[in-house]
A and B are shown apart, each in its own frame.
Chain A
Amino acid sequence: MSQNAEIQNAEIHDVIGRGYQHGFVTDIESESLPPGLDEDVVRAISRIKREPAFLTEWRLRAFRHWKTLSEPVWAHVHVNPIDYQDISYYSAPKTKKDGPKSLEEVDPKLLETYEKLGVPLHERARLAGVAVDAVFDSVSVATTFKDRLEKAGVIFCPFSDAVQRHPELLEQHLGSVVPYTDNFYACLNSAVFSDGSFVYIPKGVRCPMELSTYFRINAAKTGQFERTLIVADEGSHVSYLEGCTAPMRDENQLHAAVVELIAMADAQIKYSTVQNWYPGDENGVGGIYNFVTKRGECRGRNSRISWTQVETGSAITWKYPSCVLRGDNSVGEFYSVALANHRQQADTGTKMIHIGANTRSTIVSKGISAGRGQNTYRGLVKILPTATGARNFTQCDSLLMGAGCGAHTFPYVEVKNPSATVEHEASTSRISEDQLFYCLQRGISEEDAVNMIVNGFCKSVFKELPMEFAVEAQNLLAVSLEGSVG
């Protein structure tokens, strides 16, 4: 632990004094569909991707359904109206016709971008040991470590490759956890999703490395609609990391992703996110609208799905990574740090749906509000009549920094089986003057002291992150909180 702390210390010092660092725009030619959305656009996306008929049809059904829906209004966020006809639904860096096959074929400018982002496209890079699938605007540009993974039988590839090479797996699983009818944004995504990652871990295989996807929105006026599907077959294990950044732009950009996780009997999926989309400026101009549907299904007995998220970016975050605990004895976990600074709005939480007997879930949510940020925890724990002996533990803590921000907690609990145990703990606190002065008296600057105290507040979540991500998460927190003291 002390080692960990030391690294964190060093890196926190490194980043203090910097603003949003990922706000550069990459100057590359891209091929985009003109803004607008109708059935032809949906068909065009499907055609560009040379998709089989079942997928085209599925998209069209989703699109037709979407037209009957309207945006949800229940979240505790204020959204500027989105003109869905003013968004381009496909943008891809112009490359050789069939797209890059290996790193050598990737546009050097793209690689440069990822290097700036610190994504280890080159296998010797910082996070050596992590296989990365990088999604730039709408297409996946390179996937590293293919060979080693293939040897283990693991499929980890861009979604569009999976469409070509494993259509049967997709047909079987796509939309089986998040049907296109689920909600407005998931439905839109189902109609127009452009790329994303697909993972399949065969029976009994422990994935030999962490898998990772980096998302980047570059082009202006594009939306990003990726889809991630992870299937962990019986007795398999996988840990998956997702990171995201975007350039600074004045207009809001829409990111409406869908992530589906499926864990068969005795399988384990750990899904970690460090979300650092551009949050907009201090006055709330620009920034990403991050409207994401993430859900995992523990389909088999003794399966386990853990969501860990660190949400520091985006103008608005609307996301509730959830677990459907269908298999008996299955376990769902949600560990979250959400930060809302300046004018950021975060409405996030989880749903734990207990269906199987003796299913267990743990929710640990840490919300930090600073500046004029608004942070909402919204959680549902639902115990169905079949879930005999189910247990949930929820801990929801809010930390307020300054007088202009807000923290809101909406824990919903529905228990339909009397043998279930549901525990909820909640707290709201401010960084105390006593703690701050104690650190100052030890010679530590106010900014470092605040970071230290906030990181301490988040510790029970950070310790769930893979080591490299934990460091990154702490750095992000430091950068995001900059100037919020005093």
Chain B
Amino acid sequence: MLVIKDLHAKVGDRKVLDGLNLEVPAGEVHAIMGPNGSGKSTLAYTLAGRPGYEVTAGSVSYQGRDLLALAPEERAQAGLFLGFQYPVEIPGVNNVYLLKAALNAARKHRGEAEVDAFEFLTLVREKMKVMQMDEAFLSRGVNEGFSGGEKKRNEILQMLVLEPSLALLDETDSGLDIDALKVVANGVNTLRSPTRAIVLVTHYQRLLDYIQPDRVHVLARGRIIRSGGPELARELEARGYDWVLNEAA
């Protein structure tokens, strides 16, 4: 699904990713952990094609294609979804309107007709139930005045509607209360399938209690310095990052 080789990237003048290698096969859930400022969000943004994030070396293949050759909206249309660490507010633009535009963009890309209005509402309502969101959120502006936790739920709602092949979820668990964490985890789990891959960026083991990862990676100093199974996350939780950093140094 996703093969990253020796990726170097800079933001502005700052080199953030420094020879990062990562492989995420279809059907798997990978967790990326790492100290603040280590480059986790940068990796997510770089994969999503955010302007200002410049790849200076390396390659990324997504479903066998050269991901880096695609424009950001093409990456999204091709099934790459980024759940933002800080979802932005777009005042006056209906949540449901954005959602529909996004779905139709993906459908158009696949050569399908625009979604029928009734079908669409049925789909959205069903997903909102999964996310335990009130329908009132549909007619509000995108993330406008949403609480931190509501914004995160909204990200997962969008993901469920768009059904991406590769989901990069950047700290979707931060800012969630305990019940919301379960709801979000449940939402993510419904998306798990042999044809999809999910990358979770997180600081905490508790998310991984609900979403069992196949692999756990430690990102530090712009590269993956250690990879392991679910037990690695528990070890990090218990011991912090110093020992990994020291061993890698």
Q: Which of B52, B73, B94 contacts A440 (CB 8 A)?
A: B73
Which single member of B49, B50, B97, B139 contacts A452 (CB below 8 Å)? B97
User: Cα distance A455–B104 when bound, in Å?
Assistant: 19
Q: Is the CB of A438 within 8 A of B93?
A: no
Binding site for B on A (CB under 8 A): 1-3, 5-6, 8-10, 432-435, 437-446, 448, 452-453, 455-460
**Contacting residues of chain B (84-117) with chain A, CB-CB under 8 angstroms:** 84, 87-88, 90-94, 96-98, 100-102, 104-106, 109, 114, 117
Q: Report whether B76 and A453 are in contact in the complex, using a CB–CB cutoff of 8 Å.
A: no
Complex Cα gap A3–B94 (Å): 11
Decide yes or no: A2 and B121 within 8 Å by CB, A441-B82, A456-B90 being known contacts.
yes
Question: B102 touches which one: A5, A442, A460 (CB < 8 A)?
Answer: A442
Determine the distance from Cα of A446 to Cα of B51 in the docked complex, in whole angstroms.
12
Residues of A within 8 A of B98 (CB): 439, 442, 444, 452
User: Least Cβ distance of B65 to chain A in Å?
Assistant: 16
Contacts of B81 in A (CB 8 A): 441
CA distance A458 to B117 in the complex (A): 24
B contact residues around A442 at 8 Å (CB): 76, 98, 101-102, 105, 158, 162
A434 to B105, CA, bound (A): 19
Cβ contacts under 8 Å, A8 to chain B:
97
Decide if B58 is an interface residue (CB 8 Å cutoff): no
Dominant SS among interface residues on chain A: helix
Interface residues of B (CB under 8 A from A): 48-52, 71-73, 76-77, 81-82, 84, 87-88, 90-94, 96-98, 100-102, 104-106, 109, 114, 117, 121, 138-139, 141-142, 158, 162
Known: A445-B105, A455-B92. A2 touches B73 (CB 8 A): no
Q: How far is the CA of A5 from the CA of B139 in the complex (A)?
A: 10
Chain B residues within an 8 Å CB radius of A9: 97, 100-101, 104
> Which of A2, A432, A434 contacts B96 (CB under 8 A)?
A2
Complex: how many Å from CA A188 to CA B12? 58
Q: Which residues of B lie under 8 Å from residue A433 when comparing CB positions?
A: 51-52
- Which of A6, A453, A460 touches B90 (beta carbons < 8 Å)? A453
Nearest A residue (CB) for B87 = A438
Residue of A nearest to B158 (CB): A442
Q: Which residues of A contact B73 (CB under 8 A)?
A: 440-441, 443-446
Contacts of A444 in B (CB 8 A): 73, 98, 101-102, 105
Told that A433-B51, A441-B50, A458-B92 touch, could you supply 17 new A-B pairs with CB distance under 8 A?
A6-B117, A9-B97, A433-B52, A437-B72, A440-B72, A441-B48, A441-B82, A442-B105, A443-B73, A443-B77, A443-B102, A443-B162, A445-B105, A448-B101, A455-B92, A459-B91, A459-B93
| A443 contacts across to B, CB distance below 8 A | 73, 76-77, 102, 105-106, 109, 162
Could you tell me the distance in whole angstroms from the C-beta of B44 to the nearest C-beta in chain A? 10
Given A2-B139, A3-B117, A441-B72, A457 and B102 touching (CB < 8 A)?
Answer: no
Residues of A within 8 A of B92 (CB): 455-460
Cα(A440)–Cα(B117), bound, Å: 22
Smallest CB–CB gap between B42 and chain A, Å? Answer: 14
Chain A proximity of B14: nearest CB distance (Å): 17
Pick the most buried of A5, A437, A443: most chain B CB atoms within 10 A of its CB: A443
Chain A residue at smallest Cβ distance from B82: A441
| A5-B96 in contact (CB<8A) | yes
CA distance A10 to B100 in the complex (A): 11
B88 touches A440 (CB 8 A): no
Complex CA–CA separation, A10 to B108 (angstroms) = 13
Structural contact, B94 and A1, CB atoms closer than 8 A: yes
User: Which A residues are in CB contact (< 8 Å) with B104?
Assistant: 9
The one of A5, A438, A457 that contacts B88, using a Cβ cutoff of 8 Å: A438
Contacts of A452 in B (CB 8 A): 90, 93, 97-98, 101
For B102, the chain A residues whose CB sits under 8 A away are 442-444
**CA of A453 to CA of B94, assembled, Å:** 10
Residues of A within 8 A of B141 (CB): 456
Closest to A8 in B: B97
A-side contacts of B52, CB under 8 Å: 433
Most B Cβ at <10 Å: residue of A1, A439, A455, A458: A439
B101 surroundings in chain A (CB, below 8 A): 9, 442, 444, 448, 452
Partner of A435, one of B72, B76, B90, B109: B90
With the chains together, A433 CA to B50 CA distance in Å?
A: 9
* Minimum CB distance partner of A6 in chain B: B117
Closest CB in chain B relative to A350 CB, distance in Å: 21
B-side contacts of A5, CB under 8 Å: 94, 96-97, 100
A397 to chain B, nearest CB (A): 10
Residue of A nearest to B75 (CB): A441
Q: Which residue of B lies closest to A366 (CB)?
A: B92
